[in-house]
Structure 1
Amino acid sequence: MKKISLFIVTLLAVSLVACNDELDQVPLSDASAANFYRNTADFEQAINGVYGQLRPVPERYYDLSETRSDNVYGSSTTGVRPWDPINDFARNLANNDLIAEAWNNNFNGIMRANNVLDRLNSNVVPEEAIRNRFEGEARFLRAFYYFDLVRWFGQVPVFDTAVSPTDALEIPRSPVEEVYALIISDLNTAIQLLPPSHSQANRGRATSWAAKAMLAKVHLTRSGPTYGIQGPGLGVNEYSEALTLLNDVINNGPFMWVNNYASIFSYNNENNPDIVFDIQFRSGQIGLGTTLPGYMGTPSYFNTLSGNIALPQSSVEMREVSKNLINSYEPNDLRLPVTVQRGFTDPNGFVETRGFYRKFLDETATILDRFDWPINFPLIRFTDVMMMKAEAILQGAPGGSQQEVDDIVNMVRARAGLAPTANVTLDMLLDERRREFAGEGLRWHDLVRTGKVKEVMDAWLPVEDELNRMQNNMDIHFVIYPIPFTQLTVKEGLYQQNEGY
């Protein structure tokens, strides 16, 4: 089997994990893959393997977005946890395992998508509708993985087909514009090939609406400032393109406003009308759920619980939700108790006053293993689509109005039990997005995309850093992360480190 070299992608020496009941998979070994792609059932399993690379995304967003932003103060008691240097804006991050995970697993997903696309044809999958769905899903997921990479690292190597290890040694990082060209091409193709909805048996798969919503976010991100670095923003002013796609999703898609905020994240209400696309997790088979609720929690809190939650959970220490975030909620905002656990008394009588994220936590659930929380993780919500529309209008997209912006924000506020507001500005919209999507991994990207990251972080850092751990101010080069050290050493001169690290 052709594959991206191990220095580009760390191939996991485990079976492919399933995403939900309908996305079951079987292991594919290197020895058998050359003879694997023989029929529709084989490609179904291979596509499920591409979805399988979404599994680490929730924890990644917590580590690299929430902890990097003003939402979380992540300094540990010892200062040696892998998230500490991310929180502290350290320059020596190239050897950080959390950053290497983002590189390796995204490229692993790209490799899997490329293997499907390279082998898919009418001889092995004769039914056109199914073949189109497979291609659309592979392209959608490849676009997602590359979009994730370009936002974390800027320039990355572009692989639009499976390559041999020898060939991979000759492929340098591509300019950000070229990475986006593949992302946009893939999403446009996915929009044409993917169905607008799926049967219950295929619940959780990408749809044409998910591709449109993601493409809108790509246009918004490309339109952000460049900061003078090779990062995700190109300053291309594609707000009109974003608005057109967002209006299509809002006006013609199957999504609806959900009036109860807590129900969006309920274990008993998954795949509700607010979900455009999410990562599907299931319970009952160890390793097929998510670790996120335990990972964002604190062991001492789980020790206070009685019931069916396996201990210990996956967290080793609390990462405190920032006081600044908690204080940003207005009194009686219904989202705060859904999002943050504020205070508890541990079994030894210690009173914990700090807060941690609880948005995806249900203490009444039966959790047999710490890897087995059966709650999906949203990647695109209808609320996000609505608020991206407001953002596009505020950024100057023609055809929108201030009244539309105000109406969208007031829908969000009304659901949170808050009074309406008027004349919403971009800063006000960002504040509302911060509270609405706290814990969902959007905050860092929101700040970068809108040009607010240095202003916000420079104001937040000296106030929140109680342990005096943060090593640097918000150097603009910290908009993106360094290239993992292992990628720099495999062939001298193939990659150059991102400036500032």
Structure 2
Amino acid sequence: MKKILSIVCCLLTGTAFIQSCKNDELLNLQNPQAYNPSEVWRDQNLANAYLVDIYASLPGWPVNQGDYADESANVLGPDYVTTSNNNFKYWPYNTIRKINILLTEIDGGTLPEAFKNSLKGQAHFLRAFHYFKAVVYHGGVPILDKPQLLTDSLSVARNSTAECFAFILQDLDNAIKMLPDKYTGADFGRMDKAAATAFKGRVMLYKASPQFNPANPYSNSYWADAYTTNKTAREFLEGLGYGLYPDYAGIWMNEGNREDIMTVIYQNPGKINGRMEHCIRPLGQSKDCTGADNPVWDLVSQYPMKDGKQPGTSTKYPYNVQTFWQNRDPRFDATIAYNGSIFPLGVRADYRQYTDLQLGGLVDGFGPGQQFNRSGFYTRKGVDNSLSQAQVALNAVDWVEIRFAEVLLNFAEAANETGHSDEALAVLKQIRQRAGIEAGTDGLYGLKNGMTRLEMRDAIYQERFIEFAFEGKRFWDMRRLRRMSELNGKAKSGLQAQLKPGLDPNDRSKVFVPTDFTYTVRELIINGPRQMVLPESYYFFPIAQGEIEKNPKLKQNKDWGGTFDPTLQ
């Protein structure tokens, strides 16, 4: 796929750049803008480039999505979402038109059958991906499976949410039939049967969810389908060699490992800084930006202890805010950089990051109401420690949209809701074992024995919070499970560090360690909107008013002044 990315860069930037490309098969191409569209489907390079242009529509790193939930520092204030602004609107019909052109016209060309089917299978996947995202945002949307012509009516009504799910699943089934099991080598990053099968499991989990079934959230028939689909996905992927990567901290830096199922590739040069590392790093080791994905106390305090017990409940590892970093779930140190912790950042292996106002200063330190809402923490996930401050925007860490841990936890969730709690428990134990949590004498990794269905549901929800921190899942999980009320009206907190009395911050002979400070939990924002606003209407976002004005057949969602019911019930 990295080769493909270079091909599309050449094809889409014109003759001058084509002459500098190193792919020999491209050197003699005419200006692609001058091509007759019908020639695209007679030339493998052009057809490939057309598809890779569609791949560019896939989302990258979900930076700052933790602001929507209880992961990072900012808040959703009053009227963050309205019918007239662009927040939480997803209307991907330009991309869908490109996909429909491919699926409609490719059979009229002369491409080899196997190559053509590969492109069609990938296109079916990509169309399903975009339709699914639109449905998660808005509920049912208009289904267009062919490119609209000037002679067509451009005013199309919304299909029901049930019809949209059926269409998405049919696209995924078509993709699964047409695609190879697994792309590797130069083709890594293309959508294959593994990605389509895993993604189908995600789709079925949403279809069964409380978001779409508020009147019958956990006893509807879709849960059985979700269980079967996710079990099939797990078994199929394991058969292909997918599994949990042994080193949780190394998942992102060891790209293309056995956990990566659906990957959006970044490379230097060409496609860089998807992680926005220049904004995620402390400003003292970055430039021009900071405060992105800043962990808040709401997340930090939830990491279990090394024995898997929640802080304050473990008898083996007593907990105190003053030593909050000690004896935690190893995912804590893999994800959270805290005051006085070692955080190399291209400086040196023993470089320590300070977040107090004396050593960290106004640049990196936390004090309530401070600019940029610094919280006293920074995130490590996806950060390339090898880059110097001057190179910070060169981060090219791949974004993994689906990894095997999600497949496992999707399966666990569906298993719990269909009477297979033993299978759900086995997954949680597997996830915690990989994390490095101690098994304990009972082999339960800190989990409660004999959990009820509700207790297991909460345990899975909590595990996803920790496992997928800053991977863009928390807000959507809260929404999918209709649990946004847990955060509605709440303020976020940070942790303020202060040097203990008698210690001199100007003493260059001393290396200050975390125990040299005292810690106080403080409300993070004291100016402007302080509390999260997550009303019931956010379970389905409105169609943009501008789209409705262009197409009067579109009905607005019922919680936004319209009559359209976006649920399945």
- Give the TM-score of the pair, scaled to structure 1: 0.79
Q: Find the counterpart in structure 2 of residue 262 from structure 1.
A: 249
* Range 408-417 or range 184-193, more displaced: 408-417
Residues 249 and 469 from structure 1, CA distance in 2 versus in 1: closer, same or farther, beyond 3 angstroms?
A: farther
Contact 1:154/1:480 (<8 A) preserved = yes
Matches of 1:115 and 1:187, distance apart in 2 = 18
Contact 2:38/2:109 (<8 A) preserved = no
Q: Find the counterpart in structure 2 of residue 337 from structure 1.
A: 333
Q: Find the counterpart in structure 2 of residue 362 from structure 1.
A: 384
| Structure with larger Rg | 2
Q: Find the counterpart in structure 2 of residue 215 from structure 1.
A: 200
- Give the alignment of 1:101-120 within 5 angstroms: 102-103=90-91, 106-120=92-106
Matches of 1:370 and 1:164, distance apart in 2 = 46
Which residue of the other structure, out of 445, 448, 455, is the alignment partner of 2:479?
A: 448
Aligned AA for 1:49? D
Q: Secondary structure at 1:192's aligned position in 2?
A: helix
Residues 68 and 361 from structure 1, CA distance in 2 versus in 1: closer, same or farther, beyond 3 angstroms?
A: same
1:325 aligns with 2:339: no
Which residue of the other structure, out of 232, 236, 241, is the alignment partner of 1:245?
A: 232
- Give the alignment of 1:372-383 within 5 angstroms: 372-383=394-405
Deviation track 1:272-293 (CA, whole Å, cap 9, x = no partner) reads: 00111111111123xx124323
Q: How far apart are residue 318 of structure 1 and its match?
A: 4.2
Q: Give the gaps of 5 or more residues in structure 1.
A: 1-18, 76-86, 306-310
1:478 aligns with 2:538: yes
Identical counterparts, % of pairs:
22
- Give the alignment of 1:153-168 within 5 angstroms: 153-164=138-149, 167=152
- Give the alignment of 1:58-97 within 5 angstroms: 58-59=60-61, 61-63=62-64, 65-75=65-75, 87-88=76-77, 90=79, 92-97=81-86
Residues 222 and 295 from structure 1, CA distance in 2 versus in 1: closer, same or farther, beyond 3 angstroms?
A: farther
* Range 417-426 or range 201-210, more displaced: 417-426
How many residues align? The count is 446
Matches of 1:108 and 1:451, distance apart in 2 = 31
Contact 1:213/1:380 (<8 A) preserved = yes
Q: Find the counterpart in structure 1 of residue 515 from structure 2.
A: none
Q: Find the counterpart in structure 1 of residue 427 from structure 2.
A: 408
Matches of 1:465 and 1:350, distance apart in 2 = 14
* Range 273-282 or range 198-207, more displaced: 198-207
Matches of 1:168 and 1:441, distance apart in 2 = 37
Q: Secondary structure at 2:559's aligned position in 1?
A: coil
Residues 472 and 67 from structure 1, CA distance in 2 versus in 1: closer, same or farther, beyond 3 angstroms?
A: closer
Q: How far apart are residue 358 of structure 1 and its match?
A: 3.1
Contact 1:280/1:377 (<8 A) preserved = yes
Which residue of the other structure, out of 280, 292, 295, is the alignment partner of 2:275?
A: 292
Aligned AA for 2:68? R
Residues 428 and 112 from structure 1, CA distance in 2 versus in 1: closer, same or farther, beyond 3 angstroms?
A: same
Deviation track 1:24-44 (CA, whole Å, cap 9, x = no partner) reads: 312288774634423222211
Q: Find the counterpart in structure 1 of residue 510 from structure 2.
A: none
Q: Find the counterpart in structure 1 of residue 517 from structure 2.
A: none
Matches of 1:376 and 1:409, distance apart in 2 = 26
1:46 aligns with 2:50: yes
Matches of 2:250 and 2:548, distance apart in 1 = 45
Q: Secondary structure at 1:167's aligned position in 2?
A: coil
The two structures, once aligned, show a CA RMSD in angstroms of: 3.2
Residues 30 and 349 from structure 1, CA distance in 2 versus in 1: closer, same or farther, beyond 3 angstroms?
A: closer
- Give the TM-score of the pair, scaled to structure 2: 0.70
Q: Secondary structure at 2:3's aligned position in 1?
A: coil
* Range 162-171 or range 177-186, more displaced: 162-171
Matches of 1:333 and 1:379, distance apart in 2 = 24
Residues 355 and 98 from structure 1, CA distance in 2 versus in 1: closer, same or farther, beyond 3 angstroms?
A: farther
Q: Secondary structure at 1:276's aligned position in 2?
A: strand
Contact 1:219/1:241 (<8 A) preserved = no
Residues 34 and 441 from structure 1, CA distance in 2 versus in 1: closer, same or farther, beyond 3 angstroms?
A: same
Q: Secondary structure at 1:438's aligned position in 2?
A: coil
Q: How far apart are residue 146 of structure 1 and its match?
A: 1.1
Q: How far apart are residue 255 of structure 1 and its match?
A: 0.4
Residues 487 and 379 from structure 1, CA distance in 2 versus in 1: closer, same or farther, beyond 3 angstroms?
A: same
Q: How far apart are residue 228 of structure 1 and its match?
A: 7.2
Contact 2:488/2:531 (<8 A) preserved = no
- Give the alignment of 1:149-228 within 5 angstroms: 149-164=134-149, 167=152, 169-226=154-211
Matches of 1:289 and 1:350, distance apart in 2 = 25
1:388 aligns with 2:407: no
Q: Secondary structure at 1:379's aligned position in 2?
A: strand
1:304 aligns with 2:285: yes
Q: Secondary structure at 2:205's aligned position in 1?
A: helix
Contact 1:293/1:360 (<8 A) preserved = no
1:489 aligns with 2:508: no
- Give the alignment of 1:427-438 within 5 angstroms: 427-438=458-469
Residues 220 and 443 from structure 1, CA distance in 2 versus in 1: closer, same or farther, beyond 3 angstroms?
A: same
Contact 1:22/1:203 (<8 A) preserved = no
Contact 1:341/1:356 (<8 A) preserved = yes
Q: How far apart are residue 53 of structure 1 and its match?
A: 0.9
Which residue of the other structure, out of 472, 481, 487, is the alignment partner of 1:457?
A: 487
Aligned AA for 1:438? A
Matches of 1:496 and 1:295, distance apart in 2 = 39
Contact 1:296/1:356 (<8 A) preserved = no
Q: How far apart are residue 295 of structure 1 and its match?
A: 6.7
1:351 aligns with 2:346: no
Q: Secondary structure at 1:341's aligned position in 2?
A: strand
